[in-house]
Amino acid sequence: MILGQITRKNFTQNPKNDILSGLTVALALVPEAVAFAFVAGIPPLVGLYGAFMMGIVTALFGGRPGMISGATGAMAVVMVHLIQKGNEVGVNLETPIELLGLQWLFITLLFVGGIQMLAGVLKLGKFVRLIPHPVMMGFVNGLAIVIFLSQLTMFPNAVPNDISFLDNTSEWFSALFSNGIFWKMMAFIALTMGIMFGLPKLTKKVPSALVAILVVAGITIFGGIDVSTVGSFIVEKGGEGLEGGLPTFQDQIFGLFGTIAGHWDLILSTAFILAAVGLIESLMTLNLIDEMTETRGSGNRECIAQGGANLLNGLFGGMGGCAMIGQSIINVDSGGRGRLSGAIAAIALLCFVLFGAPLIEQIPIAALIGVMFMVVIGTFAWSSFRVIRKIPLSDAIVLIAVSAITVWQDLAIAVIAGVIISALVFAWKNATMIRARKRIQADGTKTYEIWGPLFFGSIQNFNSKFDVKNDPQNVEIDFVESRVSDHSALEAISNLVNKYEAEGKTIRLKHLSEDCKLLMFKASPKFKEVIVEAIDDPRYHLAADPEKFTKPLSEYKM
Q: Which residues of 62-96 are buried (b: 16+ CB within 10 A; e: fewer)?
A: bbbbbbbbbbbbbbbebbeebbebbbebbeeeeee
Query: Which stretches of 226-298 are DSSP H helices?
Result: 230-236, 264-293
Give the pairing of strands 435-440 and 69-70: unpaired
pLDDT in tens, 384-403: 888 888 888 888 899 999 88
Distance CA 199, CA 456 (A): 57
| Other CB atoms within 10 Å distance of the CB of residue 300 | 19
3-state helix, strand, coil in the chain (%, to 5): 65, 5, 30
Confidence of residue 237 (pLDDT cuts 50, 70, 90): low
Specify the amino acid at residue 265. D
| Other CB atoms within 10 Å distance of the CB of residue 310 | 35
The answer to whether residues 58 and 345 touch, using CB atoms and an 8 Å cutoff, is: no
Asked if the model's pLDDT at residue 180 lies above 50, the reply is yes
Q: What is the mean pLDDT of residues 169-197?
A: 84
Instruction: Cite the beta strand spans of 42-127 per DSSP E.
Output: 69-70
- Edge-first strand order for the sheet with 435-440 is 435-440, 446-454, 474-484, 506-510
Distance CA 303, CA 431 (A): 35
Distance CA 426, CA 534 (A): 32
CA 243 to chain centre: 32
Q: What is the mean pLDDT of residues 21-46?
A: 82
Residue 388: which H helix or E strand, with range? none
The answer to whether residues 195 and 375 touch, using CB atoms and an 8 Å cutoff, is: no
Q: What angle do CA 333, 418, 324 make, to 5 degrees?
A: 30
pLDDT for 264 equals 92
β-partners of residue 69 are 323
Confidence of residue 406 (pLDDT cuts 50, 70, 90): confident
Confidence of residue 528 (pLDDT cuts 50, 70, 90): confident
The answer to whether residues 137 and 422 touch, using CB atoms and an 8 Å cutoff, is: no
Tell me where in the chain the CATH 3.30.750.24 domain(s) lie. 432-555
Asked if the model's pLDDT at residue 332 lies above 60, the reply is yes
Q: Please list, in sequence order, all residues whose beta carbon lies within 8 angstroms of the beta carbon of residue 9, skipping any fewer than 6 positions away.
A: none
| Other CB atoms within 10 Å distance of the CB of residue 337 | 21
Return the higher-pLDDT residue of 319 and 524. 319
Asked if the model's pLDDT at residue 216 lies above 80, the reply is yes
The answer to whether residues 47 and 37 touch, using CB atoms and an 8 Å cutoff, is: yes
Confidence of residue 330 (pLDDT cuts 50, 70, 90): confident
Which among 550, 280, 264 has a CA at the least distance from the CA of 413?
280
What mean pLDDT is reported for the chain? 84
Query: Which stretches of 352-392 are DSSP H helices?
Result: 357-360, 365-379, 383-387
Which among 474, 469, 544 has a CA at the least distance from the CA of 513?
544
Give the pairing of strands 506-510 and 474-484: parallel
The answer to whether residues 310 and 54 touch, using CB atoms and an 8 Å cutoff, is: yes
Q: Is 242 helix (H, G, I), strand (E, B) or coil?
A: coil
Asked if the model's pLDDT at residue 348 lies above 90, the reply is yes
Torsion sign over Cα 110, 111, 116, 119? positive
Distance CA 420, CA 287 (A): 19
Confidence of residue 195 (pLDDT cuts 50, 70, 90): very high
Confidence of residue 316 (pLDDT cuts 50, 70, 90): very high
Asked if the model's pLDDT at residue 61 lies above 90, the reply is yes
| Other CB atoms within 10 Å distance of the CB of residue 54 | 34
CATH number of 432-555: 3.30.750.24
β-partners of residue 435 are 451
Specify the amino acid at residue 213. I
Q: Is 434 helix (H, G, I), strand (E, B) or coil?
A: coil
Confidence of residue 5 (pLDDT cuts 50, 70, 90): low
The answer to whether residues 237 and 36 touch, using CB atoms and an 8 Å cutoff, is: no
Query: Which stretches of 153-229 are DSSP H helices?
Result: 169-177, 180-202, 208-222
pLDDT for 9 equals 64
Residue 364: which H helix or E strand, with range? none
pLDDT for 466 equals 92
Which among 309, 330, 312 has a CA at the least distance from the CA of 63?
309
Return the higher-pLDDT residue of 459 and 546. 459
Return the higher-pLDDT residue of 52 and 329. 52
Distance CA 268, CA 212 (A): 44
Provide, rounded to the nearest whole percent, the portion of the chain with pLDDT above 90.
Answer: 26
pLDDT for 448 equals 92
CA distances for 7 relative to 11, 61, 155, 282, 304, angstroms: 6, 11, 43, 22, 18
